[in-house]
Amino acid sequence: MTSQIRADHVGSLLRPSELLHARNSQIGRSQLTAIEDRNVLRVLERQKEIGLDIVTDGELRRSNFMSDFTDAVEGFDFGDAVPRKWKDDDEKAQHVPATVSSINGIVTSKLEQRQPLTGSELAFLKENAPGPIKITLPSATQFPAISFKYGITDAVYQDPYALLQAITEIMSEDIRTLATSGISYLQIDAPRYSYYLDPKWTAWMEKELRVDPAQMLTASLNADNDCFAAAKQPGVTVAIHLCRGNNRSHWYAEGGYDAIAERFFQELAVDRFLLEYDDERSGNFEPLRHVPKGKVVVLGLVSTKRPALERKEDLLRRIDEASRFLPLEQLAISPQCGFASTMEGNLLTEDEQWAKLQLVVDTAREVWG
């Protein structure tokens, strides 16, 4: 199945205004679920119409890409937003206003799982999906950098490594069950690997997180591999997505894949790598020479941050460039990230979103048939 998925997408889709309004209203859980169901059905049908090879529920039931984990696991305190500098395409650094969906919870007590990580997503998808299902989960590596606070978390978990281990154990057990539940594709979203690509964030890890970046990279690869090992079941494609930030069309990190390419591509036990390649911040295609045979790289050539529609001619040219380092049969295409890593979504319209996904499908059909 892996090689057959040429038109891919990262997972999240823009929330329609009806759903955003409902989430900000004081309505009951059953009313909200009915609105979610209706809109999930709509995006499933639209994905079928445009010919995507894999479908998701758009993460429409989540407040952000990782809230399925924080909703399912007790021990996070969301009392304070963690400030972070984001940049837009004009390179202007700014603080994107914190919203409920973008607040990073701090671990203040022992983590205890209270429900499946995907909540009610999977049952509805299995009943209504018009094609193979992709489920997305945040990487365990997401949380030590944003949820560990010295003076608070270290009273429970002595250091970021201990927190990473605790989260990996929870996630692995849940994934083991999930992988036997009828899904076709499991994708782990791992933005924190971008810290190793950008010197300012590597320095931040040493100073603020108080870890050795090389040691933390090893721990991160091991943690994700534990989760992938739990997901390895016949017929299930496993993948990892690496991005550099995706909050309201803003980003926080930059740099090519060179710094981690050899270890990232050769050590992670995945079928597919979904990589950002929509602008110069992602570097060139040369690091793809480290990708082993049998693994697929999904080129994220279409921006989810900008409303302007890319030209197919440019996408074809860039796929050709990438094929100089990795054979065409090991390549696929997608947008560079999700359209709504937080529920407020990126700064484009639903029509622009669907046009970009249609372009991905049309380009894939022209290249791979």
Domain boundaries, the chain: 2-368
Contact 90, 369 (CB under 8 A): no
Residue 79 has pLDDT above 70, yes or no: yes
Residue 90's identity, in one-letter code, is D
Q: What is the DSSP letter of 133?
A: B
User: Which one of 65-69, 231-235, 351-355 scores highest in mean pLDDT?
Assistant: 351-355
- Using one digit for the tens of pLDDT, what is the confidence trace for 254-311? 899 999 999 999 999 999 999 999 988 889 999 999 999 999 999 999 999 999 999 9
Residue 260's identity, in one-letter code, is I
The pLDDT, as a whole number, for residue 64 is 93
Tokens of 79: 């009392």
Taking the C-alpha atoms of residue 190 and residue 184, their distance in angstroms, rounded to an integer, is: 20
The CA-atom distances, in angstroms, between 119 and each of 41, 116, 124, 137, 231 are 17, 5, 10, 12, 18
Residue 116 has pLDDT above 60, yes or no: yes
Q: What is the pTM of this model?
A: 0.93
Taking the C-alpha atoms of residue 192 and residue 189, their distance in angstroms, rounded to an integer, is: 9
Which backbone phi and psi does 168 adopt, to 5 degrees?
Answer: -60, -40
Mean of pLDDT values over 100-109? 77
Furthest C-alpha separation in the chain: 56
Residue 312's identity, in one-letter code, is K
Mean of pLDDT values over 223-234? 96
Taking the C-alpha atoms of residue 174 and residue 177, their distance in angstroms, rounded to an integer, is: 5
pLDDT band at 51 (very low <50, low <70, confident <90, very high): very high
pLDDT band at 4 (very low <50, low <70, confident <90, very high): confident
Contact 326, 355 (CB under 8 A): no
Q: 169: Cβ–Cβ under 8 A, 6 or more apart, which residues?
A: none
133 or 88, which is more confident? 133
Residue 92 has pLDDT above 70, yes or no: no
Coil, strand or helix at 56? coil
Taking the C-alpha atoms of residue 6 and residue 1, their distance in angstroms, rounded to an integer, is: 10
Rounded to 5°, the CA angle 40-333-359 comes to 65
Residue 93's identity, in one-letter code, is A
pLDDT band at 87 (very low <50, low <70, confident <90, very high): low
CATH topology of domain 2-368: TIM Barrel (3.20.20)
